[in-house]
Chain A
Amino acid sequence: MTSTSIPIPGYQPTLENRLWTFVQQALILLLISSIILPIFWMTITAFKWPRDVYSLNSAIWFEPTLTNMVTVFQHPWNLGNKILNSIAVASGAVALAIPMATLAAYAFSRYEFRLKKTIFLTVIASHVFPGAVVVLHYFLMI
């Protein structure tokens, strides 16, 4: 259970210890598979023909295809544009947020000023509000 089992020279693990190790490893395997299997399933679905996607008979054995990879870049899906959009949003957000946060963090850590705690809490608290409260306004701005 804890990592503190102290290695003792000539120590022979008892049956109980071995059983416990086995149970632990089985649980870790369970953990690994519960993370990997859904991702695995999403991934193989990307290589299936539509008829195999919507059928359990060809769940594991199916004729793989790369057509989806081509289709998704074509009209009306245009994944290429969407990837560019994502890159634009992500790099814009990083380019704005990191410099601003760095400057502010420097001010918070190196300077003493009035209302420091209040200002700090205001900045932090803006993260806690639900998107729904602010999104109304974004919606109206557009």
Chain B
Amino acid sequence: MKRIPAYVWLLAPALLFVAAMALFPLLYSLVLSFREWKLAQSDVPGQWVGLDNYWYLLTDDPELMESLWATLIFVGFDVALTVLAALCAALLLQKPSRMSTFTRILLILPFVMSPALIGISFRFFLNPEFGILQFLLSLVIPALDGRIWLADRWLSMTAVITSDIWHWAPYMTLVILGGLASIPKETQEAAQIDGASHWQVFKDVTFPQLKPVLGIVLVLKTVFALKAFDTIFTLSNGGPGTSTQTLAYFVYHTAFHYYDLGYAAAAAYLLTALLMICSFFYLRLIFKK
């Protein structure tokens, strides 16, 4: 008998775990997505319906279309603003000083907080009667006075996006700061000595060298924004109506409120397809290095 190489033993626990906890459920929901299974009617999977779930999902479900729009708006603004804010903050903090060291330590705080706690807190801050944020904002922008944030489709979306930015931007700042630190200082100094302005140094020297890190931050944040659930669930609960119901929330709602498991599995695979596209870009970025 041939001796089993050591790497098999080393890999076995991790691979078995991944197979049991990720691959098997994935295949299982793939199978479910081709069947009809309304949990309210039956506790075993129903008949095979082929691609009917997907067909209905893509052609005949206004709720899904709204949900795709909400996802697009949420992910678009969330990713763009998070990365932009993180980049600005990182540029501000890269000059070593006592204040920036202190701020760097603070940056980890929002990230280590539970997303559910952030959602609940923002809900509390935005309460029309006793919410402190609602009160302060209506002092700055009088038009917001008396508006109920979570009852307005755009304000609610703004609140959800803001809370997610608050959660993620500080962490992304730390990542970009790491990227900035790895850029050789000589390149920036050389440009400065040659008479480049601050803006030119950033545009032509710092930014091109920062691109790989920014790319990774961008793709990672897109994946996390597509998966975002806890904050939306606790802050707006998908509402008002279905206006902040992103695809991840839609899957949850279909599965655990409508108990339509086959259909939810199909929707989940639609989300997975989107995530696969993002991951493809992410892996290309990583392996290019």
Which A residues are within 8 Å of any B CB, using their own CB?
1-6, 24-25, 27-28, 31-32, 34-36, 38-39, 41-42, 45, 53-56, 59, 96, 99-101, 103-104, 106-108, 110-111, 113, 119, 121-126, 128-139
Contacts and interface: CB of A to CB of B under 8 A. Distances in A.
B125 interface: yes
What is the predominant secondary structure among interface residues of chain B facing chain A?
Answer: helix
Contact of A123 (B6, B15, B229, B261): B15
A2 B22 contact: no
Given A1-B198, A27-B92, A130-B271, A136 B13 contact: no
Interface of B: 5-7, 9-11, 13-15, 17-18, 21-26, 28-29, 32, 89, 91-96, 99-100, 102-103, 106-107, 109-110, 113, 117, 121-122, 124-125, 129-130, 132, 135, 166, 170, 185, 188-189, 192-193, 198-199, 201-202, 206, 223, 226-227, 229, 248, 251-252, 255-256, 261, 264-265, 268-269, 271-272, 275-276, 278-279, 283
Contacts of A6: 189, 192-193
From DSSP, what is the main secondary structure of chain A's interface residues?
Answer: helix
Contacts of A59: 132, 135
B32 A136 contact: yes
Given A2-B188, A107-B10, A136-B265, A131 B25 contact: no
Contacts of A107: 6-7, 10-11
A101 B143 CA distance: 53
Contacts of B283: 121, 124
